[in-house]
Amino acid sequence: MVGQSASLERSISPPPARRARKAHTEQSQREQVAPVYPDQQPSQRPSLAAIEAGQVVIDDHLAYFSIHLQAAYRDTGTLQPLLPRLSIREFADLYRRNLNPHGHHFVVHQHDHPISGVHYDLRLQFSQTSTISFAIPYGLPGNAKSSRPNRMAIETRVHNLWNNLIESASRATGSLLIWDTGEYEVLAYREAKKMSTTDDESSDPDNIDVLPPSSQNERLFAAFQDKHIRLRLHGRRLPTGYTISLRLPRNNYQGQVRDPARKRQKIRRRSVPTPRAESTDSETEDMVEEQLNEDAANASDSDEDASIRMNNAYTGATNTIGSVHQRHWFLSLDKKNSALSEPFFVMGRDVERSIVTGRTADDVLNDEGVTRFIGRKMWRPITE
């Protein structure tokens, strides 16, 4: 999940203002709405940190972030000539096309968090204003012959749709870049009556059925309630027809109720145990993966107030879909329907670049003036 700025501690449900102060408060809030114009100088625009923190409300997120990302553009022709790119115009058209009650926008963010480390956040639009979010510690699977074909996808907070536009960095939250973005399609997920239901099974593509006519986000809403989602992601980086399945195990329907991270840091701050001599490499990998899964799930905990935790939604977003924080879903590659001609591997913060700006994680940190950032070193890609 994408970590948020510390200033998101501001309550989304402030106590009612006294009548004598109410008019003044409303006027002050209106004065914080900042217009965005293409010809504005950088010094005239509100800061990215202030917008993310909710300290400044802007009237056009798309215009603001389009200008911001255009200024950060990198030419990757010689560095990674095969890197798929999305122009700023295409990026803006994609978002504008989905800025409605039936939009079906998605983004995969690479997030290098100082505590939880590198993980990838899949965000799916379910309403005009909001997205559900899954933290995937190792990124999306791209190898049909992998010995580790499955992933854990952990529900995090419901985000604002405009968060899908962000590339940012700070010492507190690390770097965030757009790994891929596009539109999703929900396919039917119907399990056969006699089909076994082990936790690591891959979905059977023969069970794809025809869905009744409806918008994609309505299908997502229904599939989410059914706890089985078959998702085709039409992005710029992902291969054509790329399809995954998400399934919520029955023993995780209620999610995990946890106290704020800041109240139990001493309990959670543990190192991965040193394996005994008889431990296998596989057992060691399992211990590391379990720790990374937990840390990715908790990346958003430390800077949140009680209202955000209660609603599982950040300021401005609405959790009408019923997302539950830290529920662990099983994510698998739909091999037949993806029909990958060749595998792809998610290689992490030192290799991966934004498809919009062409930046690496270090580029984003440098552009935002972040110095002395210390990232977590445990992460490694799944290539086997």
Query: pLDDT tens, 132-180?
Result: 999 999 999 999 999 999 999 999 999 999 999 999 999 999 999 999 9
- Least Cα distance to 345 among 140, 108, 147 occurs for 140
Q: With contact defined as beta carbons under 8 Å apart, do 333 and 239 qualify?
A: no
The pLDDT, as a whole number, for residue 264 is 42
pLDDT band of 54, cuts 50, 70, 90: confident
The pLDDT, as a whole number, for residue 5 is 46
The pLDDT, as a whole number, for residue 117 is 93
> Does residue 42 register a pLDDT over 70?
no
Q: How far apart are CA 141 and CA 334, in angstroms?
A: 10
Cα 172 to Cα 125, 157, 169, distances in angstroms: 26, 18, 8
The pLDDT, as a whole number, for residue 297 is 56
The pLDDT, as a whole number, for residue 6 is 43
Give the residue carrying structure tokens 């990757």: 76
> Does residue 75 register a pLDDT over 50?
yes
The pLDDT, as a whole number, for residue 293 is 62
The pLDDT, as a whole number, for residue 7 is 40
> Does residue 369 register a pLDDT over 50?
yes
Give the residue carrying structure tokens 């992902």: 238
Q: How many CB atoms lie within 10 A of CB 182?
A: 21
Region 209-221 average pLDDT? 80
- Residue percentage of the chain with pLDDT more than 90: 57
The pLDDT, as a whole number, for residue 289 is 59
Region 22-27 average pLDDT? 43
Each residue's pLDDT tens digit, 290-342: 656 666 556 555 456 788 889 999 999 999 999 999 999 999 999 999 989 99
* Burial classification of residue 304, based on how many CB atoms lie within 10 Å of its CB (0-12 exposed, 13-18 middle, 19 or more buried): buried
Q: How many CB atoms lie within 10 A of CB 21?
A: 10
Region 213-240 average pLDDT? 95
> Does residue 4 register a pLDDT over 90?
no
Give the residue carrying structure tokens 């499955």: 150
Q: With contact defined as beta carbons under 8 Å apart, do 146 and 384 qualify?
A: yes
Q: Worst-scoring range by mean pLDDT, 99-103, 162-166, 262-266?
A: 262-266
> Does residue 1 register a pLDDT over 70?
no
The full length of the chain comes to 384
Q: What is the DSSP secondary-structure string of 334-349? A: -HHHH--SS------T
The pLDDT, as a whole number, for residue 94 is 99
